[in-house]
Every structure is written in structure tokens, then in C-alpha cells.
Amino acid sequence: TSCVICLEHVEEQLSYQTMVCPSCRQAWFHRGCLQQQAFHAGLLCFRCPQCNDREKFLPEMSSLGIQVPTRQPAWEAGAGFTDMYNRHSRCDARLCLCAQGREQAGEEG
């Protein structure tokens, strides 16, 4: 059996260092790998990487000592996603049919 996160060998029995997803029971993890995932994912995105379960996974992992920070995911912090939050406001059609011209942006897109 291998850790779903690092793909290294993991014991096939539960221990302090070895954890399993309470929902799918197919995903095995090293405690350290799971803690790193929780740190990077934050509270909103922390879930089982195998089955994507959050309802059973989050409370169970928290009760087993995995600390999940209350913040946005690390990959969305900083300037990495700023372009995604800007709305496109110019018509790029070859023949623009808007009476006000290419620079006109409506509320609905």
C-alpha cells in the first residue's frame, strides 16, 4: 500500500504515523504528508485526495490531531490568481454588434 500523497510505502495497519480515509477506506496516508496537505489546502479545500470526501474526512482528521488552518488555500494566496478575478470587459468578436462599441460591458456579460 502506498501513501496517496507522496506515493511512498505505508504500513497496511493503522498507527500514529499511518492514517486512512474514514469515508472510502482506500486512501492511506503518512501523518506528515496529510498534515502538509492540510496546511496548504486550508479549511475550505481540505478533503480526501482519493474520494474528495469532506464531510467525514475533515472532522475525523481533526480529531486525530491533524491541524487545519482557517485560511484560504496557499495556491490562491498572493498574486498568482489575481487575473482570474478581473472581469473581461472588451468585445473580441470579429464583427462587434454592440451599439455602444467594443468597450461597452453589460452587467450580465
Residue 101 lies inside a defined structural domain of this protein? no
Name the residue range of residue 29's domain: 18-77
Residue 60 lies inside a defined structural domain of this protein? yes
81 or 96: which carries more pLDDT confidence?
Answer: 96
* 11-70 pLDDT per residue, tens: 989 999 999 999 999 999 999 999 999 999 999 999 999 999 999 999 999 999 999 999
Residue 83 lies inside a defined structural domain of this protein? no
**What pLDDT sits at residue 86?**
73
**What pLDDT sits at residue 76?**
77
Question: pTM above the 0.75 mark?
Answer: no
102 by DSSP, 3-state: which? coil
Cα–Cα distance measured from residue 50 to residue 53, given in angstroms and rounded to the nearest whole number? 8
**What pLDDT sits at residue 68?**
95
Other CB atoms within 10 A of residue 18 CB: 16
If one counts the domains in the chain, the total is: 1
Residue 96 lies inside a defined structural domain of this protein? no
